[in-house]
Amino acid sequence: MGPIVSQPEPLTGRGMAWGGLIGLVRHAISTAMNPDNDLPNHFELLATDGAARTGRLTTPHGVVRTPAFMPVGTAGAMKGMHWREVRDAGADIVLGNTYHLMLRPGAERIAALGGLQTFTGWNGPMLTDSGGFQVMSLADLRKVSEHAVTFRSHIDGAKVELSPERSIEVQRLLGSDIAMQMDECVRLPAERADIERAMQLSLRWAERSKRAFASAPDGYMLFGIVQGGDVPQLRHASAQGLVEIGFHGYAIGGLAVGEPQAVMLAMIDETGPLLPKQRPRYLMGVGTPDDILEAVKRGVDMFDCVMPTRNGRHGVAFTRFGQVNLRNARHADDPRPLDEESSWPSTRSCARAYLHHLVKAGETLGAMLLSEINVAYYQSLMQGIRDAIAQGKFEEFYRRTREDWARGDIAPR
């Protein structure tokens, strides 16, 4: 991967470029005169500790405590888990996938059956992505134009067109509390020209997405998505353009797509200060507990990732000791639980030997137990983060959590 393009020298002192100064002044005046285009704000910032924030996001289906981690139910189901377990683990909000749900069972069918919450039985806040990630991940099956993305369905090969307008229409039919603008995400590393083209296209699609969302009922939200890859100047242009358009919240997209963690964190550092403090900030597709802790430290409010359930299906548990691989033979004769101090029943009661047996035998129950254990750990981590920020003790929590991870799992018997 090529080096990160360095940020231009600060526009201060005698070396200030007049063109840059004029642009900054215009942006400041525009934002001051019309912050977020006077959109209603459903986010309440309750406390800060350094850049870390805790707040409350009110949706038509309930309140989301932030920082929040959204477990991913791609096709309207949490793999290996019942929705009540997701709720009992502490999740306030989950994520659904526009692309997959529009193909099967179909957005119109879900709408006729009462919307995604009623259809699934989740009945809580839900965010849907726009399908933009599939623009990247299904590269061999799609074609991007100014108007739309044309897919070949991975199910039956049928031709499907997804435009910003259709993406919003599908998300409104699903009835999600938070919809995402249509965007194009570029896998890193990539050439700057490709990153800039996708970023500019995403800005134009952002405007179209907002126009298409204009008729949504009060209380429902649309988030814009900052693109720009690993190029600071492009991240700045994207963030400023989105703020001028105005959204209920702002996501940082196009990260955790192949770049090192240091690059991801650098792009958060570049982007966060440009986003309105009074609006929620969402880092898409992230990630590991370490990624989340570092991003919270930089002012991010919302996260999602398939990792808790995907790793659970592959025999890996997340605990306060870090990741524990239950396939390892060291667990075969160990009657101890993963963490006897955990608040989650399966984490403190299931013997490592039993979990090891289930994983090695390929029993579905093993994937189910580890998935719920992992989702519960992520939610426990988020609750600890929220409490620490509210008490002004985030740095202490950050240090203690990292020390626990560094010590690693308990010694074998």
Instruction: Select 43-304's CATH number: 3.30.310.50, 1.10.10.10, 3.20.20.105, 3.40.50.300.
Output: 3.20.20.105
Q: Is 258 annotated as a binding residue?
A: no
Q: Is 254 annotated as a binding residue?
A: yes
For 177-213, the pLDDT digits (tens) are: 999 999 999 999 999 999 999 999 999 999 999 999 9
Number of Cβ within 10 Å of residue 273's Cβ equals: 13
CA 47-59-238 angle, to 5 degrees, is: 70
Q: Is 227 annotated as a binding residue?
A: yes
Residues forming the active site: 129, 304
Number of Cβ within 10 Å of residue 92's Cβ equals: 21
Please state the rounded mean pLDDT for residues 360-387: 98
- At 3, the pLDDT band (50, 70, 90 cuts) reads very low
**Average pLDDT over all residues of the chain:** 91
Q: Is 312 annotated as a binding residue?
A: no
Distances (CA, A) of 12 to 18, 20, 110: 10, 10, 54
Please state the rounded mean pLDDT for residues 332-338: 98
Q: Is 183 annotated as a binding residue?
A: yes
Exposure class string for 397-406: b at 16+ Cβ within 10 A, else e: bbeebeeebe
Please state the rounded mean pLDDT for residues 344-352: 98
Distance CA 319, CA 349 (A): 14
For 238-284, the pLDDT digits (tens) are: 999 999 999 999 999 999 998 999 999 999 999 999 999 999 999 99
Q: What percent of the chain has pLDDT over 70?
A: 89
For 389-411, the pLDDT digits (tens) are: 999 999 999 999 999 999 999 99
What are the boundaries of each domain within the chain? 43-304, 307-412
Q: Is 133 annotated as a binding residue?
A: yes
Distance CA 80, CA 109 (A): 24
